[in-house]
Amino acid sequence: MKNKQHIKKGEGENYNYSQDHCFIKLSSRDTNGELCLIEDSVKPGFHLKRHHHKLMAEVFYMLSGEMELVFDDETIILKEGDTITVPPNVWHEAICKDGGKMLTLFKNGVFDVFLETLSKMTEADFSNKALMKSVSNKFDIYEE
């Protein structure tokens, strides 16, 4: 990144999905794939299936609401103002029953490009399990 970036509230490339509405606050394209920052408005009933990353680390900061993070050895309830870091190769699952808002920092990941890719897919693409696995794996997301 050569220049300052100022992205105001409600601004930034954004993707509105059935479970959440993501705003890109720092694109991996601007950091040579090193960092990506997402502001995520999580909708009630949000559930991210158990998965892990081989290279990517994630830092979650809960702005409002509560998020249940399920790991192999424990379950943590992330509350407003809480932060948790999930290093590579740690299986995790996220559940947010009532909705909330969080910031997620991705280290060594191009999660924003993953969101962009998903936004261009059709319902038929989403129904194709082999394609979805391939796309997820391309972006360092591995499910059971």
Residue 18 pLDDT level (bands cut at 50, 70, 90)? confident
Domain limits for position 87 = 18-143
Q: Is the pLDDT of residue 2 over 80?
A: no
Roughly what angle, to the nearest 10 degrees, separates helices 129-138 and 111-119?
150
Sequence-distant (6+) residues with CB within 8 A of 78 are: 60, 62, 66, 67, 68, 69, 84, 102
| Domain-located, residue 43 | yes
pTM of the predicted model as reported, rounded to 2 decimal places = 0.90
| Domain-located, residue 13 | no
pLDDT digits over 73-106, tens only?
999 999 999 999 999 999 999 999 999 999 999 9
Residue 107 pLDDT level (bands cut at 50, 70, 90)? very high
| Domain-located, residue 128 | yes
Q: For position 39, what pLDDT does the model report? A: 95
Higher pLDDT, 117 or 4: 117
Q: For position 1, what pLDDT does the model report? A: 56
Query: How many structural domains are present in the chain?
Result: 1
Q: What is the chain's mean pLDDT, rounded?
A: 94
Q: Is the pLDDT of residue 29 over 90?
A: yes
| Domain-located, residue 8 | no
Give the mean model confidence (pLDDT) for residues 15-27: 92
Strand runs (DSSP E) across 4-121, as ranges?
14-16, 20-26, 35-42, 46-52, 57-71, 75-79, 83-86, 92-96, 100-107
| Domain-located, residue 133 | yes
Question: Which of the 8 DSSP states describes residue 60?
Answer: E
Helix (H, G, I), strand (E, B) or coil at 36: strand
Q: Token digits for 92? A: 């995790």
| Domain-located, residue 61 | yes
CATH number of the domain that 127 lies in?
Answer: 2.60.120.10
| Domain-located, residue 5 | no
| Domain-located, residue 113 | yes
Q: For position 109, what pLDDT does the model report? A: 86
58: left (phi over 0), alpha (psi -120 to 50) or beta: beta
Least confident span in 9-18, 45-54, 63-72: 9-18
- Using CA atoms, how far residue 33 sits from 36, 101, 119, 136, in Å, is 8, 24, 20, 16
